[in-house]
Chains A and B, each alone.
Chain A
Amino acid sequence: MSGPPGKFNIGWLRGYTVVYLIFIYLPILLLPIFSFNDGIYVAFPMSGFTFQWWAEMVSQPGMHKALWNSIAVAVPVSLISTILGMMGAKALTSYPLYGARALTGMFTLPLVTPFLILGIALLITFKNYGINLSLFTVGVGHVLICVPFSLFVLLSRLESFDRSLEEAALDLGETPWIVFWRVTFPINMPGIVASLLLTFTISFDEFLLAFFLTGDASTLPIFIWSQLRFPVKLPSVLALGSAILVVTVFIVVVAELLRRKGSTRSTGKVI
C-alpha cells in the first residue's frame, strides 16, 4: 500500500489484525483451557476446575513409552540433520560451487513435497529393500525433512560469517579441520544450537511420516492420535497437547533468540 494510511484504513486494519490473531490462537488456547475442565466434553459452559486429566495423562504408561520413543528419534535426528546441514551450508558458502543455486533448490524439494507422498515413497522404498519399519525408519524420514530446515538456518548464519577469519586461522598454522573447531564452530554456535532446537521440534511433532514409517513402536503424535478413538481419553490428550505446546513454544523462542543474538554479535545487526 502506498502513501500514509487514512483513519479508516487504520481502524479496518486493527480490526482485521484482531480477528486474525483470534483465528490463529483461539483453537490453540482451547487446549489448555479444557484440559482443566471437569468434564469429558469440549463444550461451553465449562463445568468446573480439575487436575484430574493432567494426573491421568502423567500416569499413563503408554504415554511414557511414546514420549521416550519420540525423544529417542528426535535427538539423533536433530544431531544428524544439523551435521548434514552444516556440511551443506559450509560447501555452499565456502567455494564458488558450480550450480550452487540449483543445488539449494534441490535441497528444498523435500519441504514442498507433500509429506503424504514422501511417506508413501519412503514406505515403498523401505519395503523393497526389506528394511523393517521401526523407530529407525521414522528417524530416516525425519532426517530427510529436517536437513533443509537446518541448511537454511545455517546458510543464513554462514553467509554473514567472515571467511577471512578462517583464512587467518589457517595462516596462523592450523589445519582446516582444527580451524573448523577453533573458529567456525564456536563463532557459529548460536546458529548450530538454533538448528538443533528447530529440527528437534520438527521431528518431535511430526505425524504423517511417523504414521507411515513406524512399526509397532509409536511416537508421541501417533500415541495421541490413537487415544482420540476413546472419548474418555480426550481430556488427558488435551493435557498432553498443552504440555507439548508449552515446551515447543519455549524451544522455538529460545532458538530464535539465539539466532538473533548470534547474528547481532558477529555483524552488529539483526538479520
Chain B
Amino acid sequence: MPASSFISIQDVSKHFGSIVAVDDIDVEINRGEFFALLGPSGCGKTTLLRMLAGFEIPTRGEIFIDGEQMSGVAPYRRPVNMVFQNYAIFPHLNVFQNIAFGLRKDRLAGDELKTRVNNALSLIKMKEFGERKPEELSGGQRQRVALARALVKNPKVLLLDEPLGALDKSLREQMQLELRQLQKIVGVTFVFVTHDQEEALTMSDRIAVMSAGKVLEVGSPDDLYERPQTRFVAEFLGTMNVFDGSVHARDGDSYIVDTRDLGRIRAGVGAQEFSDGEKISVALRPENLKIVNSQTSEDIDGSVSGVMSNTAYFGNSAQVYVTLDGSEQALVVSIQNQDGAASNVAHGSRDITIGWSRSSVLLLKDA
C-alpha cells in the first residue's frame, strides 16, 4: 500500500519473545507536525519510536517515511535523528565536536562546517559554549546540545524520547515552550514520546494515546480532552469522573442513560452512535460540574446530591470531593476561585447538590 502521509505506520507489531510490545498499530503523521506518543510506561511508545529510528525491527508491518519504505534500512541510513532520553552526549568530545559529529560524512569544508555548527549553537542559544566539555553543562544545556546535534543533520523527522523527563519542573515548563518554538522555526516533523499528559497537551499538534501496545485514539489535544471516545483516554488525560451505565433510549438529540450512581440522566449526542441497552461509561469533567444553590443561573440538565468529604485548595481553583448519596463513589468537582468562591464552599454546608449541562456529559464505548 503506498503511503499518502509523511510518516505512515502500517499494521506494525513488535514482539520480544512472548511479550507483545507493540500490537498491530496504524498511525499516520503529517509533514511538519508536532506529534506525541502518549501513554503509561510499558505501553510500547518507546518501542514504536525506536522502530522509527531503526533500532528495533518490526515483527510485522511496514513503516514509510516520506514515501520511502523503511524495512531493511539501517539506523545510519534513515532520514531521522533522535534525541535520547539521557541525551547521550559524547563525554570525550566538547560541545562543538558533539554537534559536528554527524557532519563528518557530509565532507564539508572547514568553514562551512563551522558555520553549520555555529548556526546550530545559536539556534539553541549556546553560542559561547562550543569549547565546553559535557560534564560542565547543566541538564537543560545537555538537552539543547542533543537537540542541536540532531537538528544540524537536517533530518526529515526528529524523534524525541521523553526529552524533558530528566529536568526539574520549572525547567521542564520553560523547555516545553522552547521546544515548541524551535519546532515552529525549523519546521521539522517532531515525533515525541511522553508519559506526561500535561506535556503532550501543551506541546503537540496531535497525540496518539497508547495503552498495552495499542493506539487507542489519535487526535488534537482539545479533541482528545473534550471528546474522548474511550474510557482509558478519558481517564488518562486530566481528571475525569467516570460511571458505569447503559443506554435506555435515544430521544432526539440526546441519549437517555441509566446509571447506578447518578440515576437516569440525559447526554447530548456526539460523534459516537449507541444502541438501546448498550453498556457504556458516562464521564464528566470536574470543571464542567457546578455546585447548585439558589443563585445558580446556568442551565442545569441533571443534578445529584451528596456530602462534601474533602476539599483541595490550589489557590486559583479548588477541587471538591463529594460522596454521592446512596453510593460509595466520590465525585470530583473543580471550581474557579472567583471572589473567594473556593473558600466559601469549603466553609459552607457539607450537604451539596452538583449539577451539569447535558452537553458536558460524555458517553464512552467500552464500559
Binding site for B on A (CB under 8 A): 162, 164-165, 167-175, 182-183, 186-187, 265-266
Name the contact of A164 in the complex, choosing from B76, B81, B86, B149 (C-beta under 8 A): B86
Q: Is the CB of B90 within 8 A of A183?
A: yes
Q: How far is the CB of B247 from chain A (nearest CB, A)?
A: 49
A52 to B81, CA, bound (A): 69
Rounded to whole Å, the gap between the CB of A175 and the closest CB of chain B is 6
**In the assembled complex, B84 has its CB within 8 A of some CB on chain A:** yes
Whether B55 and A167, one on each chain, are in contact in the complex, defined by CB atoms closer than 8 angstroms, is yes
B→A interface (CB under 8 Å) = 53, 55, 74-77, 80-82, 84-86, 88, 90-92, 101-102, 104-105, 135, 149-150, 153
Residues of chain B within 8 A of A173, CB atoms compared: 76-77, 102, 105, 153
The answer to whether B92 touches A186, judged by C-beta atoms less than 8 angstroms apart, is yes
Determine the distance from Cα of A168 to Cα of B161 in the docked complex, in whole angstroms: 12
A interface majority secondary structure: helix
Query: A170 contacts which chain B residues (CB < 8 A)?
Result: 55, 74-76
In this complex, which of A171, A182, A183, A266 has the most chain B Cβ atoms within 10 angstroms of its Cβ? A171
A175 and B76 form a contact (CB under 8 A): yes
Instruction: Out of B76, B91, B92, name the residue touching A174 (CB < 8 Å).
Output: B76
Q: Which residues of A contact B76 (CB under 8 A)?
A: 170-175
Pair A171/B53 contact, Cβ less than 8 Å: yes
Output the least CB separation between A266 and chain B (Å).
6
Contact of B81 among A162, A171, A183 (CB under 8 A): A171
A48, chain B: closest CB distance, angstroms? 55
Q: Which of A164, A182, A187 contacts B84 (CB 8 A)?
A: A164
Q: Which residues of A contact B105 (CB under 8 A)?
A: 173-174
Please, which residues of chain B bring their CB within 8 A of the CB of A172?
76, 81, 101-102, 149-150, 153
Cβ–Cβ contact A167 & B92, under 8 A: no
Interface pair A168/B84, CB less than 8 Å apart? yes
Find the B residue at minimum CB distance from A171. B82
Complex: chain B residue closest to A265, CB-CB: B91
Contact A165 B104 (CB under 8 A): no
* Distance to closest chain B CB from A220 (angstroms): 37
Q: Chain A residues near B150 (CB, 8 Å)?
A: 171-172
How far, in angstroms, from A187 to B85 measured CA to CA in the complex?
A: 20
Give 9 nearest A-B pairs by CB, closest first: A172-B102, A168-B88, A164-B88, A170-B75, A171-B82, A173-B76, A164-B84, A186-B92, A170-B76
| Chain B contacts for A187, CB-based, 8 A | 90-92
The smallest C-beta distance from B219 to any residue of chain A, in angstroms, reads 29
Cβ–Cβ contact A162 & B88, under 8 A: yes
> Cβ of A165 and Cβ of B88 under 8 Å apart?
yes
